Structure 1
C-alpha cells in the first residue's frame, strides 16, 4: 500500500489573452470552388500553441552618481551609489541568482554554466567568475538559512536524515532538518553531529544517535520497516513478517479514513485492536526465533559477547522496543507515516554527487548547503525560486517570518 496519496496532474489550458494571433482562412469553397476572402469570415475555432520567447539580450543599467554644487557654501557633494553597485562594471544580482539556481538545483558545473550563458544570453563569463558570484550569493543568504534553522527548532513535527559526501578528499556528512514548509541542509563535523536543542516530534529512521535526543517525541519511518519486513518475507519466509506488514498497512488505512472524515483520531476500539495485533506479531516472532537453534559462532574470532541473532530476530526485538515510535502515526494523526519529507529533500544532494562528484573545499560544500536551504524552502513556501535567490536576504527573512506566523495562526485557529 502506498504511504502517500498520488499527486494530481496538470492539464495545459488555453489563456484569455494570447501574446500573438495568427489567422487562417480557407481559400476556396469546398463545394463549388469559388474564391473566398477574409471578409467572408463568419466565425473561427481556436487552438493555442505554448512556446518560449527568445532569450532576452543582456540588459545593461548605468548608474550615475551626480555631483551637485551647494549654492550656500560652494561645497561639491556627490551622491552615493547603491550598496549593491560596487564596481565600474559588474554582473547583476539576477545573473548570480540564475547561476546559483542552475548549479544548485540542476547540478551544472561552472564550465558548463559559462557555456549556457554564452549560448543563450551571449554573455561571456569565465567559470571562475561564476564560482565567485555563486559563493557571494550563498554568503549573503546565510542569515536566511540561519533563520530557517531557528524556526525549525520550534516546529511541532520535523524530519531528520543524513547522507555521506566526499569533501576535500574525505567523507563528510550532510544533515537535513525539515518540515512540510521549511528545509535546512547543514554540513556536520561527522555523522553523529546531529542537531541539538530540538523540541516537539522528530521523524527519523531509528538511527541510534537520533534516539538519544531527549526532550522530543520519536516517530519512526515505517517505509524503512516495510522494506525490512518485505526482505524477511522474500528471503527468510517468516510468517510473522507478513502479518506485521499487513498490520502497518491496515493502520495506515485507518488513519487515512479518519483524516478524510475529519476525525481527530481513530476509534478506541480500532486503536486497541491494532496495538494488540502489534504485540501478538512481536511475541510470535520472538518465540519463533527463540525456538530455533542458535547460530554457530565463528571459530577463532577472538570476539566476546552474546551470540549473533538472525536478521528477523533483531528486527522483531527492535520493533517491540520502539513500538510507541512506530505507531506514533497511528496514535497521533498529525504525525506522518514515513520520513519521506527528509529523504525527498536530500535526493538532489545525491544527484549532485553522481553528476558533479565531490566538493573540493569545505567552503564550497557549506555554500551548497545554504543555497539548497533557500531553494527547498522557497519551493515549500510556493515562492518563485529565482526571485527568492535574487531578493534581498533581509527582505526574504521578513517574508519568511510573516508566512511562518500566518501558518502558526492557521494551525492555532
Structure 2
C-alpha cells in the first residue's frame, strides 16, 4: 500500500481490516528494526583491539594531507640539514680571476656567497689482530707454561665484540635474516661470515646477555609500578606468548608457552608492586599488586564499538569522561593542586552519575555491567600523577615484536626466542635511559659497561 485510501468511502469492516493489516506490518517492521539493532557491528582498529593491518582500509582522499600545525606533510620549505659543528675538513673556494674578463681578483674583497656540506662514509674494513701465543718449559721446575693473553684476545671465536654487537643489532633490531646478514657483512665490510658462524656467534651473545638481563629482573622486582601486556609468539612451530613487564625505568620481555597467571608469578617472584597497569585479560586481572589501573585505551575502543552498535546513552558519555580524564592527567603538571582536585572531583561525580544510567542496547548494558564491577580501577590515576591512564607503553614495547614475528615467521629454536627476549629487554630498558639500541648492545657485550642498568 503506497497511499492511504479515502477513509470516508470505507465500511467499518474494511476499516477494521485496514487497521489489522497496518498493525501486522508495524509489528513486522519493529521486529526487523530490533534485528538490525542486535546485528553485530564490524570490528575495526577504531572500536576494538583488532590491529590496523587486519582492518579494511578505505581509499584516502587525494587532497594533500596536512599536519597538526597546518603545514603540508612531506613539505621541506624553509628546511634543510643543519651544518656540522666539527667538520673533518673545510674547503675554502675563492676565485683567482674574474670569470667574465679574466682580471685577477683579490681574495680579501670577496664575500661568502654560500656554505654547504658534502658527506661521505669512509670504507670500513675488518681490523685483524693475529695473536702469536708463546710458551715453553721452565728450566727451574721443569713445568710447561704459556704467556698470559691480553684481555679481549683470548682463544676461541675469531669474531670480536664489535662484530657480535653489529650482528645482534642488525638481526634483532632490523629483522635481517642470516642469509642477508652473511651477504651484508661480505659486501659492506669484506668479512666472510657464514650462516653457521652467525648462529654460533649469537649463541655466545645469548650467554653474555644473561647477566645484564638479570640486573633488569632485579630492578623490576623492586618496582613500585608495573605495566604488563602480552602478544603471540611462534617458537619451533608452536604458539607461545611474549610477555612484557615495564615502567619508565626498566622493561623485561619473556617468552613462555602459556598465557596464564603462572608467568606473572614466576617473573615477579613474590614481589608485590603498589600499582599494576594492564588490560582486562583474566591473567592480568589476577596481578599481585595492591592497586590496579585498567587501560583506558582499550575502554575507549570498546565504547566506540558500543556507539557503532547503536548505544546513544551510556557509551558516548563514558567515552567523553575517559577522554576528559586522560586530558587532565596529561596537563595536570601545569595546573595548581587545588584546580586538579576540583577537576578530579567533577570527574568522579560524573562517573557516579553515568553508572546510574539504564541503557537499552545490549552493548551499552554490557559496558555498564563491566564498569560497575571495575569502578574502582577506572580512574585510579587521578589520585597519583605517576600512574598512566593507559597501558600504551606496554603495547609500544611489543610493537617491534609483532613486526619481527611477521617478517621472520617466528623462531626455530628455544635459545633464539630467549635471545630475542633478552635483546628487547636490553634495548627497551636502554631507551628509557636515553641510550640507543646499538650502544646498549655494545655496552652489554663489553666488560664493566652495564652501570646504566643499576639504580
Q: TM-score, normalised by structure 1?
A: 0.81
Distance 2:427 2:305 in 1: 36
Number of aligned positions between the proteins: 371
Instruction: Report how far residue 114 of structure 1 moved.
Output: 0.5
Q: Secondary structure at the match of 1:155?
A: coil
Alignment of 1:32-71 (within 5 A): 33-37=101-105, 39-40=107-108, 42-49=110-117, 51-67=119-135
Question: Partner of 2:162 in structure 1?
Answer: 94
Task: Specify whether residues 99 and 69 from structure 1 end up closer, same or farther in structure 2 by C-alpha distance, changes over 3 A only.
Answer: same
CA distance in 2, matches of 1:49, 1:58: 28
Q: Which moved more, 1:315-324 or 1:44-53?
A: 44-53
Look up the SS of the partner of 1:288 in the other structure: coil
In our comparison, the structure showing a higher alpha carbon Rg is 2
Contact in 2 for aligned 1:265/1:332 (Cα 8 Å):
no
In the aligned structure 1, how far is the partner of 2:349 from the partner of 2:150? Answer: 68
Distance 1:340 1:138, change over 3 A: same
Q: Does the 8 Å CA contact 2:239/2:257 hold for their aligned counterparts?
A: no
Structure 1, unaligned stretches of length 5 or more? 1-5, 293-309, 405-413
In the alignment, the residues of structure 2 paired with residue 363 and residue 61 of structure 1 have an alpha-carbon distance, to the nearest angstrom, of 30
8 Å CA contact retained: 1:258, 1:265: no
Aligned twin of 1:116: 184
Q: 1:345 to 1:130 in 2, by over 3 A?
A: same
Q: Deviations over 1:16-53 (max 9, x none)?
A: 321122333347548x6344557455342553336341
In 1, the alpha carbon distance for the partners of 2:108 and 2:216 equals 64
- Compute the TM-score of the two structures, normalised by the length of structure 2: 0.74
Correspondent of 2:343 among 270, 275, 278:
270
Question: What does residue 193 of structure 2 align with?
Answer: 125
Moved more, 78-87 or 343-352: 78-87
Alignment partner of 1:395 is 2:439:
no
Task: Name the residue aligned to 1:238.
Answer: 312
Query: 1: distance between equivalents of 2:338 and 2:285?
Result: 26
In structure 2, the CA distance between the partners of 1:132 and 1:26, relative to structure 1 (3 Å rule), is same
Cα displacement (A) at 1:252: 2.2
Residue 226 of structure 2 corresponds to: 158
156-165 or 376-385: bigger deviation: 376-385
SS, match of residue 229 in structure 2: strand
Deviations 1:259-297 (A, max 9, x none): 123x5575433222211211222221xx223xx6xxxxx
Could you tell which deviates more after superposition, 82-91 or 152-161?
82-91
Corresponding residue number in structure 1 for 2:376:
324
Report the CA distance between 1:188 and its aligned residue: 1.7
Q: Is there any run of 5+ residues in structure 2 with no aligned partner, and where? A: 1-67, 69-78
Q: What's 1:282 paired with?
A: 355
1:217–1:48 CA distance, 2 compared to 1 (3 A): farther
Change (3 A) 1:258 1:387: closer
